[in-house]
């Protein structure tokens, strides 16, 4: 089987796993709408995904089986962070803060990167999708390296398309009410993921 087939399979798998709206994607969407640090946020997400996919493809997914306490620790840290971030979004929606409007001054680059780092690395679902699932699926293909490269490509394509494509929705979000609705939706997403993690 030619490596291109493995690459395309990895690309399709990566896109299918990442396209669902989650905590990470919601943050990228919001940054794209306010046009704040879009390139660096998208790059951070894509590079983080690539690193995790590399771990999965090279067999490091076994760490989770060898050290289940690590998975549990990540889960509860993720729950705490998602609850806090969801509450923050609900509060912003309630207050209708000026910082939510396009073109306004948002968080610094350091704060934005710290936020997306927590949403990425403290979210067990990210680890499950990239390390465990992609790692396991890649082992089924003759060229797991090409499969992993395809999955990494999918991450880069998706995050930059989401971050820069969000500005097409700018006319809708010119109204403060639309930003309040978005914040409520983000809060719901964060708390739903937190409840899912608790239930697991």
Chain length of the chain: 200
Full domain range(s) for residue 167: 3-199
Contact 144, 138 (CB under 8 A): yes
Task: Give the pTM.
Answer: 0.71
Looking at the structure of the chain, the number of domains it has is 1
- pLDDT by residue for the chain (200 residues), tens only, comes to 677 888 888 887 777 667 666 778 888 988 898 888 999 999 999 999 999 989 888 875 566 566 667 667 766 876 787 788 788 878 877 877 544 344 444 678 999 999 899 888 987 778 877 877 777 777 767 788 888 899 899 999 999 999 999 888 777 776 777 778 877 887 887 788 778 768 76
Give CA separation, 133 vs 48, 113, 177, 192, in Å: 16, 26, 39, 22
* C-alpha span between 145 and 58 (Å, rounded): 8
């Amino acid at each position: 089987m030619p490596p291109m087939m493995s690459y395309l399979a990895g690309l399709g798998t990566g896109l299918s796993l990442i396209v669902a709206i989650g905590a990470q994607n919601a943050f990228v969407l919001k940054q794209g709408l306010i046009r704040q640090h879009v390139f660096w946020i998208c790059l951070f997400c894509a590079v983080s995904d690539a690193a995790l996919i590399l771990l999965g493809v090279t067999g490091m997914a076994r760490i989770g089986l060898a050290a289940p306490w690590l998975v549990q620790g990540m889960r509860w840290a993720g729950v705490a962070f998602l609850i806090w971030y969801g509450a923050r979004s609900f509060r912003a929606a309630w207050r209708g803060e000026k910082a939510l409007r396009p073109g306004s001054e948002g968080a610094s680059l350091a704060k934005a990167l710290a936020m997306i780092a927590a949403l990425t690395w403290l979210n067990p679902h990210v680890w499950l999708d990239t390390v465990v699932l992609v790692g396991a699926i890649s082992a089924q293909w003759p060229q797991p390296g090409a499969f992993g490269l395809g999955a990494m490509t999918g991450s880069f394509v998706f995050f930059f398309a989401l971050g820069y494509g969000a500005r097409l929705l700018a006319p809708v979000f010119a109204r403060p009410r639309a930003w309040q609705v978005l914040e409520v939706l983000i809060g719901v997403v964060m708390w739903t993921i937190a409840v899912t993690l608790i239930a697991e």
